[in-house]
Structure 1
Amino acid sequence: MYKIVIVEDDENIREELQQLLVNALYEVSWIEEFQRVAKQILNLNPDLVLLDMNLPNQDGLGICGELRKTSQVPIIFVTSNVTSMDELNCITRGGDDYITKPYQPPILLARIAAVLKRSAPKKEEQEVQLTYREVTLELSTGKLKRENVSIDLTKNEIKIVYYLFRKAGCIIAREELMDYLWDNQIFIDDNTLSVNITRIRAKLKELGAGEYITTKRGLGYLLE
């Protein structure tokens, strides 16, 4: 799971960003004390930083400059500064991307995914496998396994099972699952999601796993 640090002094925006990122399965930390911000960020060892320009004590450009002395952590400026010179300054001082407020959440998530893909290790691939109740999702081969039996999954099925395994025990709304797939450049409609869930259930049954995925009417899916 990628870790993202939010550097934003507006509490409402910070909480909105936090919830958006948590829902997208990122690990989230944030800065609340705006002294020695660069050192705090480095201590948190994030995979990406969302950095505001206008901050107490030191602006975002100064923080970015300090980070670049010792770190290549990806930085996306999220700011209300909207001039082309502001954007140029952010990029030339070491920023990886620049997005203006008010932002569109899907666009911001797409920008984050793109920067991480270019700049950070692919942690989902590093996880190698996830196991839940004797069933293992092997990410490197795209297989579901139980005991000595394995079944191939499609790309869509891998992403869906990955999300379900990571949120096992929680009800996942269909809209939440479709947003996650969209953020990962998998474009499916409501009917296609139903088809994929049906196929995954059939493959789990082939493994002798029984009814892992329960439909909660009007709420979504539950892996139990």
Structure 2
Amino acid sequence: MFKIMLVEDDASLFNEIKERLSQWSYDVYGVQDFNHVIQEFTAVKPDLVIIDIQLPKFDGFHWCRMIRSHSNVPIIFLSSRDHPTDMVMSMQLGADDFVQKPFHFDVLIAKIQAILRRVYNYSNEQTELRTWCGATVDYMKSTISNHLGSLELTKNEMYILNVLIEQKNQIVSREELIKRLWDDERFVSDNTLTVNVNRLRKRLGELGLGRFIETKVGQGYMAIEEAYRHD
């Protein structure tokens, strides 16, 4: 049974989501003290976290940063605010998806199922190390390292990188990436993928690898193997 931590201060919405998720055999945990979300996160050790943006004391962005400093667990944001910068900020902080309130429960469960299936089935299947552009990619540890250092990537970042490396030196269409990451493109805005890839490229830049993820305008993205790059 997957454990889901729901960081939501609206008691009626929390109870409704918990009841619906329980029907799908998910074990749902709430927050008892919104001053100590990280301590409760550490105690629960959830498989996925759902965070509202507007919370008491500190907002969801703060807690996303704190969680990301401890863990690469999948994170979904909920928000009643409709400003596009909220979604962009969420993705830049390392969230895996964003759900706008009010939402249809089928949309939320579809996103949860897609993320859990992708992250945990993928982790179980990936056992080998892979090299790319002189770096070692460790799927089990969700890390990439070279002579400049080592990075721990989020599950989303690692999955995107894996798909691109699988087809290195070939264009992977935006449609294929969206379908492989979220299963059903109907529930994903095009901007979600853009922000995720840009975040991955920025992080890889710390190891001098950002330039090897290329955007092919109107087509998709390509992971370039160093030997094939002609600058």
Q: TM-score, structure 1 length as denominator?
A: 0.53
> Equivalent residue for 2:28?
28
Matched, 1:66 2:66: yes
Structure 2 counterpart of 1:119, which letter? V
Deviations 1:94-123 (A, max 9, x none): 111000111100110000011112223589
Deviations 1:28-54 (A, max 9, x none): 111131012122112100000110001
Structure 1 counterpart of 2:48, which letter? L
- Structure showing greater radius of gyration is 1
2:80 and 2:60 map into 1 onto residues whose CA distance is 12
1:102 and 1:84 map into 2 onto residues whose CA distance is 16
How far did 1:59 drift?
0.5
2:41 and 2:52 map into 1 onto residues whose CA distance is 13
> Equivalent residue for 1:209?
none
> Equivalent residue for 2:209?
none
1:81 and 1:3 map into 2 onto residues whose CA distance is 27
Structure 2 counterpart of 1:14, which letter? F
Matched, 1:120 2:120: yes
1:42 and 1:62 map into 2 onto residues whose CA distance is 16
Structure 1's unaligned 5+ residue stretches are 124-183, 186-224
> Equivalent residue for 2:79?
79
> Equivalent residue for 2:96?
96
2:53 and 2:121 map into 1 onto residues whose CA distance is 26
Where in structure 1 do 4 or more consecutive aligned residues deviate above 4 Å? Answer: none
1:86 and 1:95 map into 2 onto residues whose CA distance is 11
Matched, 1:2 2:11: no
Closer, same or farther in 2 for the Cα pair 1:115/1:103, shift >3 Å? same
Closer, same or farther in 2 for the Cα pair 1:113/1:18, shift >3 Å? same
Conserved 8 A contact 1:47-1:120: no
Structure 2's unaligned 5+ residue stretches are 124-182, 185-231
Name the Cα RMSD after superposition: 2.1
Q: Per the alignment, in what secondary structure is the counterpart of residue 78 of structure 1?
A: strand
1:121 and 1:44 map into 2 onto residues whose CA distance is 21
Alignment length (residue pairs): 126
Q: TM-score, structure 2 length as denominator?
A: 0.52
Ranked by relative contact order (alpha carbons within 8 Å, sequence separation 6 or more), the top structure is: 2
Structure 1 counterpart of 2:75, which letter? I
Closer, same or farther in 2 for the Cα pair 1:16/1:122, shift >3 Å? farther
